[in-house]
Amino acid sequence: MSIKPKYLVLSLLVLVATIHPGSAANSTVDPKVLHVLNRLSFGPRPGDIEKLESMGIESYIQAQLSPETIPEPQTLIEQIEQLQTLRLSPVQIYKEYGPAAVRSGQKPAPQQKQATRQKARLVVQQAMQARLLRAIESPRQLQEVMVNFWYNHFNVYAGKGLDRLWVGAYEQQAIRPYVLGRFRQLLEATARHPAMLFYLDNWQNTAPGSPGARSKFQGLNENYARELMELHTLGVDGGYTQQDVIALARIFTGWGFRRRPSATDTGSGFYFDSRRHDFSDKVFLGHTIKGSGEGEVEQALDILARSPATARHISYQLAQYFVSDRPPDTLVARLQQRFLATDGNIREVLNTLFHSPEFWNSQNFHAKFKTPYEYVVSAVRATGIKVHNFTPLIATLQQLGMPLYGCQTPDGYKNTQQAWLNPDAITRRLSLATILESGRLLNNQNHTQRRQLVDAAALANTLGNSFSEKTRSAIASSPVQLRAALILGSPEFMYR
């Protein structure tokens, strides 16, 4: 007898409502092993617990901190290589998939505009597929966790104009190479990328009265300067003033991208327009910066990257992500010291975090409520399903309020329980659990393929059988068709 999905969800809701997260009972897996997998990765896949136990926790941590030492599966490499738009620079994407008027030199007809928009959808679709594919399949899990963390920190919204073309390139070129490097490099890579320059309007930032001031380039635009300090570096309480915002905006005048690249240009698209720059001297955060052009930005980024306020802001966010919604001040201070001592070496800051007593405090185990993205990726990983059709996952993230590249505000998505725990969200997560349990994501071509249910016992073993007695009892007393979905919908699986 089969159970229809809507009745599965109702049954799950009834069962989940009677269960509260609790400590694991009779689990033979070291809780520290599960803690590492839940925090340094998007959760265990089949066999991950055994692999980590074999190599040891410390070896696993050090390997994850050096992802270049971990071979990628050839199948994953081949799948990523098939996504051809990932290899294109912003200029190449702009020429191939951008506005028809740019390519033709003439005003496009409505049908041409529609065809261009349709073609451009491929770029963001492939970016989404690549992100999910790597998060699910890559053994370089900490790298993927940090790609998600830093993209969110330096958020760019795909729904704003040209950024629908550039978010994938932005992640590939400005985020991914620097996630475990020095913060200063990451900061400049994002500051130079057309996706960020367009999203926060700095491409229009112009010194009033300058030779290049005309049309939409008429005056200062403070958007990027403000967010660069408030969100990306110093933090809202970082000690800057409105005068510092204005000074930084003046420093960034002319810092943008070429709107009409030449036929031979295939690069990043970044362009400093000296005709729109303010060449007067500026005082920024107490430092005098002589008017010299493009190099002024380098000085400003150095000041921001080396500020104790920046070190504290970044340390707090890392501690909040990896330890608890309200991280201890002692941990934040220790990470801040390490950040300053290593000139913003992200790998070293994380190494300190992963060896801190706060990270290993059992009260912080299984205490972070998963964001929709973390839930979706961890659920697919736990089942071991090979996803060939990513559309349901992308749609689920949309329904859960966390679409990929879809955060409109520059502060990015929250990663706390308060932001995501609500009845509607739980209902939607349970709907995904029933879909995964039925095997309906296995194939998008052969619709006649027999659907096989996820094995509940194997799934429980993959997760270390780390369930409370109430959850165990609920699973054991449920129909076989319901058990895997109940595991994925359990309170314990909602947390990492």
What SS3 state is found at 169?
Answer: helix
Strands (E), 258-327: 270-272, 282-284, 287-289
pLDDT surpassing 80 at residue 26: no
Per-residue confidence (pLDDT) for residue 1, from 0 to 100: 43
Q: Count of alpha carbons within 13 Å of 344, Cβ hemisphere only?
A: 24
Top pLDDT among 13 and 82 is at 82
For 390-408, give the secondary structure using H, E and C. CHHHHHHHHHCCCCCCCCC
pLDDT surpassing 90 at residue 262: no
* Both structure tokens of 92: 């190449």
Per-residue confidence (pLDDT) for residue 10, from 0 to 100: 57
Phi-psi region of 184 (alpha: psi -120 to 50; beta: other; left: phi over 0): alpha
The span from the CA of 246 to the CA of 266, in Å, is: 33
Query: What percentage of the chain carries pLDDT values higher than 90?
Result: 80
Query: Quick one: pLDDT band at residue 21, thresholds 50, 70, 90?
Result: low
pLDDT digits 0-9 by tens, 424-436: 889 999 988 988 8
Per-residue confidence (pLDDT) for residue 452, from 0 to 100: 60
Residues in the chain: 496
For residues 115-124, give the mean pLDDT: 87
pLDDT surpassing 70 at residue 369: yes
Query: What percentage of the chain carries pLDDT values higher than 70?
Result: 90
pLDDT surpassing 90 at residue 8: no
pTM metric for this prediction: 0.93
List the one residue out of 408, 328, 320 whose CA is nearest residue 371: 320
- Of the chain, the end-to-end C-alpha distance in Å amounts to 34
Per-residue confidence (pLDDT) for residue 175, from 0 to 100: 98
pLDDT digits 0-9 by tens, 301-349: 999 999 999 999 999 999 999 999 999 999 999 999 999 999 999 999 9
List the one residue out of 323, 434, 425, 419 whose CA is nearest residue 379: 434
With 0-12 / 13-18 / 19 or more C-beta atoms within 10 angstroms meaning exposed / middle / buried, residue 345 is middle
List the one residue out of 205, 8, 127 whose CA is nearest residue 403: 127
The span from the CA of 13 to the CA of 285, in Å, is: 53
Query: Quick one: pLDDT band at residue 13, thresholds 50, 70, 90?
Result: low
pLDDT surpassing 90 at residue 115: no
The mean pLDDT of the chain is: 91
Per-residue confidence (pLDDT) for residue 447, from 0 to 100: 46
Per-residue confidence (pLDDT) for residue 133, from 0 to 100: 98
| Other Cβ atoms within 10 Å of 434 Cβ, number | 25
Per-residue confidence (pLDDT) for residue 4, from 0 to 100: 52
Per-residue confidence (pLDDT) for residue 260, from 0 to 100: 83
pLDDT digits 0-9 by tens, 445-483: 544 444 567 899 999 999 999 999 999 999 999 998 889
Greatest mean pLDDT among 176-190, 253-267, 453-467: 176-190
